[in-house]
Structures are given as C-alpha cells and as structure tokens.
C-alpha cells in the first residue's frame, strides 16, 4: 500500500473552530504529535466509548480485525485483548509508531500489524450488497480530541449468506446509470444519449454473438427499455428513493 501523499481534506475532517486561548490550554492543537490540519486527525479519547465499540463488535478469539486510522491506539489495544490479530492502516508514520509503542514488549505485539498508507486509495467493495448494515451507537464529537465538526456513528456489517445471485459487474453498471442523477426518474437516466448509445451497442454485440441479424424487425432498444421498466413499475421510480432490494429485482 503506497504512503499517503494527498493533502485534500473535506470540511468534516477539519478541526472545530478554535476556542479562546484560555480555553485551548493543554488541548490537542498544541500537541506536536497531532496533525489535524493535514490528516484530519481526531483521536478517540473516551475509554468508555471505546469499550462500547469493542463490546458491540462481539469479537471472538479467532477473529482477525481491520482497523482504519488507529491514531494513538486507544481502540486498538482494546481490540487486541479480544481478537486473534489486528491489521491497522494508518496514514501518519508518527501515529503508527505510537501504536506500536503501546504494545511493545507485551503479548499483544505479535498480534498487531501496522500498515502505513492511505486506506481511501484501496478498492473496497460495496458492503450493502453483500452485508446487512446496522447503526449501533452514535459517538459524541466531544469524545474526540480535538472535536470534529460532525457527529460520528458506529456501524456493524454482517455478511449476507448466501450472497445475492447477481453479477457484481452488472449490478455496478446498473447503479452507475440510475445514480448518475439520483433524483431523476429511472427512465430519464436511461434515456440519456450516451446511455442509449451504449445499450444499443451492447444489444448489437449480443445479437451478433447469438448469430442473429440486426434488422428493423428486431425490437428497438427503446421498446425493450419501456417493456422492462413497465413490467417492474420502475418508469417513474427514482434511485434516491429505492432500497437495495428494489434495485436487485
């Protein structure tokens, strides 16, 4: 995994407005270890919240855990008490060193692997297709140091077994079309000039592979699209208001 080079941050990762000097004394903003401006670092400082997160995960001694952004390791050390192995991905080499320092010389040291890199650059799957997503607890912004400008949530991902019988590439292609403008009707998104051209080319390729002639007697791509959308009552549906089960139909 490559080392981080990007310095682009969203507003959500920027620190909250600075307090007056008298209020900011001893805050994380004066700690040279923190680099909130570059990495958007907000360290979970509430030990009770960290324990709630670990308890909610219901970890077993055989579990292998991936932790993204361990910071100084406040959550990591609690996970290591429960899990078989933890792989922690951290952008900041200084924070990575802090995490390793926390477990140096302890039995947990052999259970921890720290990878220095940017997890955002990793190609991760669309979890909602293959897992049930639940919101477990909300985390107050003041449980972090320094507090971010947004509230946080802890979610749980439980794999769906068996996974839905759909080819991911086809499902991904469908979503790219209908979510290109999520508040527009499904039909409206499909009728975009570029989409119609692509569908027609795909149809012609398929007919050729089936050794079927492409002529005026064949249904037009517009007719086929209308037939499919009408059968599913999707003509006036909008992607923004559809759930995963409706899209999978």
Q: Where is the binding site for S-adenosyl-L-methionine, in residues?
A: 42, 44, 69, 90, 118, 180
SS (H, E, C) the chain: CCCCCCCCCCHHHCECCCCCHHHHCCCHHHCCCCCHHHHCCCEECCHHHHHHHHHHHCCCCCCEEEEECCCCCCCHHHHHCCCCEEEEEECCHHHHHHHHHHHCCCHHHHHEEEEECCHHHCCCCCHHHHEEEEEEEEECHHHEECCECCCEEEEEEEECCCCCCCCHHHHHHHHHHHCCCCCCEHHHHHCCHHHHHHHHHHHHHHHHHCCCCCCCCCCCHHHHHHHHHHHCCCCCCEHHHCCHHHHHC
From the annotation, which residues make up the binding site?
42, 44, 69, 90, 118, 180
């Amino acid at each position: 995994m490559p080392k981080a080079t990007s310095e682009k941050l969203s507003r959500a990762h920027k620190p909250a407005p600075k307090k007056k000097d008298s209020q900011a004394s001893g805050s994380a903003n004066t700690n040279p270890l923190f680099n909130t401006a570059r990495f958007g670092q907000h360290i979970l400082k509430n030990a009770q919240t960290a324990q709630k997160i670990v308890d909610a995960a219901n970890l077993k001694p055989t579990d292998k855990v991936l932790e993204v952004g361990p910071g100084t390791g406040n959550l990591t050390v609690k996970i290591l008490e429960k899990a078989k192995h933890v792989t922690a991905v951290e952008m900041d080499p200084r924070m990575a060193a802090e995490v390793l320092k926390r477990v140096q010389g302890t039995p947990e040291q052999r259970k921890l692997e720290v990878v220095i890199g940017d997890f955002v650059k990793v190609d991760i799957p669309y979890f909602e297709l293959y897992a049930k997503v639940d919101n477990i607890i909300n985390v107050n912004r003041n449980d972090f140091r320094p507090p971010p400008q947004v509230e946080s949530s802890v979610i749980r991902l439980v794999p769906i077994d068996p996974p839905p019988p759909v080819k991911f590439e086809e499902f991904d292609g469908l979503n790219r079309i209908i979510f290109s403008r999520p508040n527009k009707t499904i039909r409206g998104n499909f009728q975009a000039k570029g989409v119609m051209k692509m569908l027609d080319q795909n149809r012609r390729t398929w007919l050729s592979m089936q050794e079927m002639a492409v002529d005026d007697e064949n249904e037009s791509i517009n007719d086929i699209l209308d037939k499919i959308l009408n059968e599913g009552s999707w003509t006036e549906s909008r992607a923004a208001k559809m759930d995963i089960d409706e899209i999978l139909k």
